[in-house]
Amino acid sequence: MSFLRSSGVLLHPTSFPGRFGIGDLGLEAYRFVDFLVNSRQQLWQILPLGPTGYGNSPYMSFSAIGGNPLLISPELLKDDGLLTDEDFHNLPEFSATRVDFGQVERVKMPLFRLACDRFKTQASPIRRTEFEGFCESKAYWLEDHALFMALKDAHDDLPWNTWEPPIAQRQTAALQEWREKLQGEIFFQKYLQFAFFQQWAALKSYANLRGIEIIGDIPIYVAHNSADVWAHPENFCLDPETGEPTLMAGVPPDYFSNTGQLWGNPVYNWEHLQQSNFKWWVQRFQSMLDYVDLIRIDHFRGFQAFWAIPQGEETALNGTWIEAPGAAFFRTLQQTLGRLPIMAEDLGVMTPEVEELRDEFNFPGMRILHFAFGSDIENPFLPFNYPRNCVVYTGTHDNDTTVGWFNQLSDYEKGVVMRYVGRTSSENISWELIRLALSSVANQAIIPLQDVLELGNEARMNFPGTIEKNWEWRYESGMLSEQRSGQLRTMTEVYGRAPISRE
């Protein structure tokens, strides 16, 4: 579907300020929503919200549906009477600008266990009923998720396919045995999801009531070591003996890497998925629309054809394109959901077939201004080449900030950019690209918060193809100033992206 003219900001919740070392769903999240409202934005785009493991990437989650417990606000749990100020004594000195995920987990998880214990003994009848209702309504994914996370902890975080064969293969007797053995831990995992979704629902309601829609991000692939692959191995291309992927996901050489990107996720057994009428995928979209308003599909081209790399390869060079039944899937999804509030991440190696799939369902694609200045006037990322039904970004979470990007350009390339924006000074280059995005014909414009704040390379969120030091950036309290809000508000109004007043 196409969308009305609007704009918004890209920011993952881990980047909020806060006293617990990581952004969470507490007060600073609400302050950010207020900043969006005051700036006359209508969209807030986030990254995937799932629980992360090694590397801390939200695109390699232990669950395709579950929430990340590290985003739970201890202060909101205190407001619920489950934690006290005394519980927060002796907090370590966290960095205000980077997330140390290991340190955060060591501090937050004991607090959550304490809150869970108190919930068991002190929760009101209403809260208990809410918890039971949550567990019942989400049982189709929550039961497997809670058991998987409990089993993972019981097996020292080793991958599921290295567990004892009876439980790795989900034999009925083994499942029953481990459920009884891990009752307490399973309850804790369910409680974490309950607390996360309660806090997220309240924040989403606050945003929606103020005219802010949330764009969620759905990675096309899930991590091999995840509840989804363990619980539904038939959906993936796995070796029946070892449980390892027989074919791994990735992309061929591109803008980011000369050897491509080897992600390592198992690719889908699309034949089986189609035979099941895409049940797992449909449930995934339905679940996501419970807690976001719009969905950006990461690596959309994988629904038309995907790059499959044989197990044992160390780079993505020796892969093969395999067709996927994307059109059949989206028709099935449309029959279930009606309108499809979907945006397509259509970057990288595109073909006429991928574009045809995108356009058949009227999904807006993406345009990135950082990619606009490296070739000729036919470059599809130049604003005068945009269709209306697209989403323009200055850059994404995989790009440098605009200041960082510009600073590493050659003098010639800087000159090309400056001539295009009609300036002789690069002093406000971040805002010049924001102006280009907001003034374009693209129906939607999304600006990373780092660009609104005019931050440099130190605020980059991710370096594709690397593992360390990603996903750590946080902004400091006080950066969301009235001056920044006023700049964004004025430009949003000038270029016709502000919400229409109902007064």
Contact yes or no for 373/418 (Cβ under 8 A)? no
Output the six-digit token pair for 156: 């020292």
What whole-number distance in Å separates Cα of residue 405 and Cα of residue 425?
Answer: 16
The conformation of residue 245, written as its DSSP 8-state character, comes to: B
The catalytically annotated residue of 24, 28, 75, 345 is 345
Helix count and strand count (H, E) for the chain: 18, 12
Question: Is pLDDT above 60 for 503?
Answer: no
Q: Where are the beta strands (DSSP E) in 407-466?
A: 444-448
What are the start-end ranges of the H helices in 235-343?
270-275, 279-288, 326-337
Output the six-digit token pair for 485: 């809000």
pLDDT of residue 257: 77
Mean pLDDT, rounded, for 432-440: 98
Question: Is pLDDT above 50 for 200?
Answer: yes
What whole-number distance in Å separates Cα of residue 187 and Cα of residue 114?
Answer: 13
Mean pLDDT, rounded, for 18-22: 97
Q: Are strands 444-448 and 390-393 parallel, antiparallel or unpaired?
A: parallel
85 among known catalytic residues:
no
pLDDT, tens only, 448-461: 999 999 999 999 99
Contact yes or no for 280/233 (Cβ under 8 A)? no
Mean pLDDT, rounded, for 408-437: 94
87 among known catalytic residues:
no
Alpha carbon separation from 252 to 249, 269, 300, 316 (Å, rounded): 10, 20, 15, 6
pLDDT, tens only, 295-337: 999 999 999 999 999 999 999 999 999 999 999 999 999 999 9
Residue 425: pLDDT band with limits 50, 70, 90: confident
Burial of 258 (0-12, 13-18, 19+ CB in 10 A): exposed
Residue 1: pLDDT band with limits 50, 70, 90: low
Query: Average pLDDT over the chain, rounded to whole?
Result: 96
Mean pLDDT, rounded, for 379-387: 97
Question: Is pLDDT above 80 for 431?
Answer: yes
Mean pLDDT, rounded, for 272-279: 98
Q: Are strands 247-251 and 305-310 parallel, antiparallel or unpaired?
A: antiparallel
pLDDT, tens only, 32-63: 999 999 999 999 999 999 999 889 999 999 99
Among 48-52, 315-319, 347-351, 419-423, where is mean pLDDT lowest? Answer: 347-351
Residue 500: pLDDT band with limits 50, 70, 90: confident
pTM (predicted TM-score): 0.96
* Secondary structure of 157-202 in HEC code, one letter for each residue: CCCHHHCCHHHHCCCHHHHHHHHHHCHHHHHHHHHHHHHHHHHHHH
Question: Is pLDDT above 60 for 502?
Answer: no
The catalytically annotated residue of 398, 400, 432, 454 is 398
Residue 481: pLDDT band with limits 50, 70, 90: very high
The catalytically annotated residue of 213, 298, 346, 451 is 298
Range 46-71 burial, b when 16+ CB lie within 10 A, else e: bbbbbbbbeebbbbbbbbbbbbbbbb
Contact yes or no for 200/29 (Cβ under 8 A)? no
239 among known catalytic residues:
no
pLDDT, tens only, 75-134: 999 999 999 999 999 899 999 999 999 999 999 999 999 999 999 999 999 999 999 999
Q: How many C-beta neighbours within 10 Å does residue 206 have?
A: 15
What whole-number distance in Å separates Cα of residue 371 and Cα of residue 381?
Answer: 6
Give Dmax (Cα) for the chain: 73
What whole-number distance in Å separates Cα of residue 231 and Cα of residue 236?
Answer: 11
